[in-house]
Amino acid sequence: MFNSFFEDMGGMPGGMPGGMGGGPQEDADTEAFYKTLGIEKDANPTQIKKAFRKQAMKHHPDKGGDPEKFKEISKAHEVLADPEKRALYDKYGEKGLEAGGGGGGGGAHDIFAQMFGGGGGGGNRGPRKGKDVQFKLNVQLEDLCNGATKSLRLTKNIVCKGCEGKGGRGVVKCQACKGRGVRMVIRQLGPGMIQQMQAQCDACDGEGEIIPPSGRCKECRGAKVIEAKTTLKVNINKGMSSGSKVVFRGEAHQTPGIEPGDVVVILDCKEHPIFKRKGKNLFIKKKITLLEALTGFQFSLEHLDGRTLLVQSDPGTVYEDGSIKKISDEGMPMESNPTQTGNLYIEFEVVFPTSVTDGQKKAFCELLPKPEAEDMALDGEDVEDVELVDVDMQEERRRMQQEQQRGQYDEDDDEGGPQQAQCRTQ
C-alpha cells in the first residue's frame, strides 16, 4: 500500500517525505524497534505479540520495572503490531512515522488490560463511562428553607430489550476496520508532503460491526437503543443553596458495553420578592413612616416556613433611615446541621412626608427641638439668596457624562458630581 503510494508521488530520493531530511533510505534506522522487542525483522504478528508480553511483564512499572524502558517497549509494539505503521517504519524509520502522522493507538494498553487487568501502569481502569448529563431545576427560596421533593421527567436512551443491545441477528465484525470503527488513511497535502490520520470507517459508519438489513431488530431498527421516558425524584435538603447539585448515578443515556453516565441536577433558585439570602442569613427591607420612626411601630412578617413573626420597635428608640436590626436564629437552616440557623436582618427605610401644612409645621416646632443657630452673619454685601430646585439625578449624571466627554469637566467624583474645571494655558 505504502510502496504504491510513494511510487505515485514519483519516488522519494534523497530524503524523507515533506523535506524532513534524514539522509538516503538505507541510512534510516529501521531495526531499533525490533531490537527493543528482541525479534528479527521478519517476525510474524504472533511472535511480535509474544515478545512484547515477555518484555512487558519484565519491565512493567507495576512489577518494579523501569518506566522509561516500558515506554520504549510499548512504542515498539504499537508500531510493529500495526501492518500499516510497520510498513512505513520498515521503509523510512521513525522519521517516516512522524512525517506520516504515526503514533497514537493503544495496543499496549489493550493487551495489558488482558494481562494485568489494567493498562500501561495505571491499574484497573474498568469499563468506559458515558457522558454525564446536566439539568437545571427551578426552585423557590421556600424549598431551600423547608426542604422539598421535586419531580424531573427525562427522555433518555436505554438498551433495547428486543435485541439486548446487539442491534439484531447475524451481526459480524467489520473487516474493513477490523472492528475498531476507525481506519488509518493517508492523504497528500502537497508535493512531498503526506499526512496519516484516523477517520471513521465508512463501511460500518464507525460501529465496528455490520448488521444485515434482514436481521435488524424491529424494535430499535439496528440502533441498539430506544428512547424511554423516566421520572426522577429530586430530594432538596434544608439549607441547600442555589447551584447545589443532586447526582443520580448511572441515570444518563445507556449505550451497549458502556457504563451509563450520571444525571446531575443543578438547583436554580429564583429571586424572592421579600427575602434576600446571604449564606445562612436572611435580609429584608422595611418601610416605616416618620411617625413610626419617632413613636414606635408594630407589624407582622410571614416567614419562609409559614410562621408569622410579630415585630415591634423598642420602646423609646428612634429609628433612623438605614438603621439595621437583627432577629436572632430566624435565618436559613444550615445544610450540614438543619437545627442550626442564621439570623434575620431588617433594614429600615424611613418614608418622609412630601408636604406639610402650616398647622403641622407649628406642631412640629412645638414638639421637636429647635435647630442650632448657625454662626454666620446673615446680612451684608456677601449674603445672597439662592433657590432650591428639584432635580432628576439620573438625568443629571447623564448630562455630566456628556459634558465630561466633551472635555468641559475633569473626572467625576465619587458622588457623580463635576469637579471644578482646571485652567489650561498654552
Confidence label for 377 from pLDDT (cuts 50, 70 and 90): low
**297 and 351 assigned to the same domain:** yes
**379 and 391 assigned to the same domain:** no
**364 and 423 assigned to the same domain:** no
Asked if residue 58 is part of any domain, the answer here is yes
Asked if residue 204 is part of any domain, the answer here is no
Residue 113 has pLDDT above 70, yes or no: no
User: Lowest mean pLDDT: which of 42-56, 178-192, 216-230, 347-361?
Assistant: 178-192
**362 and 416 assigned to the same domain:** no
**38 and 57 assigned to the same domain:** yes
Report the pLDDT value the prediction gives residue 155, as an integer from 0 to 100.
93
Which of 95, 115, 135 corresponds to the end of one domain?
Answer: 115
List, for residues 415-426, the tens digit of each pLDDT value.
444 444 444 444
Asked if residue 186 is part of any domain, the answer here is no
**322 and 417 assigned to the same domain:** no
Report the pLDDT value the prediction gives residue 375, as an integer from 0 to 100.
58
Which of 115, 141, 160 corresponds to the end of one domain?
Answer: 115
**316 and 406 assigned to the same domain:** no
Average pLDDT over all residues of the chain: 80
Asked if residue 148 is part of any domain, the answer here is no
Report the pLDDT value the prediction gives residue 361, as an integer from 0 to 100.
85
Report the pLDDT value the prediction gives residue 389, as an integer from 0 to 100.
79
Confidence label for 407 from pLDDT (cuts 50, 70 and 90): confident
Interval 347-362 mean pLDDT? 90
Interval 195-200 mean pLDDT? 81
- The larger pLDDT score, comparing residue 382 to residue 247, is at 247
**39 and 111 assigned to the same domain:** yes
Total number of domains in the chain: 3
Confidence label for 367 from pLDDT (cuts 50, 70 and 90): confident
**381 and 399 assigned to the same domain:** no
Q: Residue 421 is placed in which grid cell?
A: 474645571
List, for residues 47-104, the tens digit of each pLDDT value.
888 888 888 888 877 667 777 888 888 888 888 888 888 888 888 888 777 655 444 4
Confidence label for 400 from pLDDT (cuts 50, 70 and 90): confident
Report the pLDDT value the prediction gives residue 132, as an integer from 0 to 100.
94
Report the pLDDT value the prediction gives residue 421, as an integer from 0 to 100.
42
Report the pLDDT value the prediction gives residue 18, as an integer from 0 to 100.
42
**What is the domain-level CATH number for residue 300?**
2.60.260.20
**307 and 367 assigned to the same domain:** yes
What domain range includes position 407?
387-426
**371 and 410 assigned to the same domain:** no
Asked if residue 400 is part of any domain, the answer here is yes
Residue 4 has pLDDT above 70, yes or no: no
Asked if residue 71 is part of any domain, the answer here is yes
List, for residues 217-236, the tens digit of each pLDDT value.
999 999 999 999 999 999 99
Q: Which DSSP symbol is given to 317? A: P
Report the pLDDT value the prediction gives residue 370, as an integer from 0 to 100.
77
Report the pLDDT value the prediction gives residue 111, as an integer from 0 to 100.
44
Interval 341-362 mean pLDDT? 91
The Cα 104–Cα 93 span in angstroms is: 16
**What is the domain-level CATH number for residue 33?**
1.10.287.110
Q: Which of 38, 86, 31, 87 is nearest to 58 (CA)?
A: 38
Asked if residue 161 is part of any domain, the answer here is no
The Cα 299–Cα 322 span in angstroms is: 18
Q: Residue 53 is placed in which grid cell?
A: 508480553
Task: Please check whether residue 164 is in contact with residue 158, taking contact to mean a CB–CB distance below 8 angstroms.
Answer: no
**326 and 371 assigned to the same domain:** yes
Which residues 6+ apart lie within 8 Å of 140 measured at CB? 269, 270, 272
Report the pLDDT value the prediction gives residue 301, as an integer from 0 to 100.
94
Question: What are the residue ranges of helices labelled H in 342-386?
Answer: 358-367
Largest CA distance in the chain: 118
CA torsion 188-192-198-202 (nearest 10°) is 20
Interval 167-171 mean pLDDT? 89
User: Lowest mean pLDDT: which of 180-194, 254-268, 340-354?
Assistant: 180-194
Residue 122 has pLDDT above 70, yes or no: no
Task: Please check whether residue 20 is in contact with residue 99, taking contact to mean a CB–CB distance below 8 angstroms.
Answer: yes
Asked if residue 241 is part of any domain, the answer here is no
Report the pLDDT value the prediction gives residue 120, as an integer from 0 to 100.
43
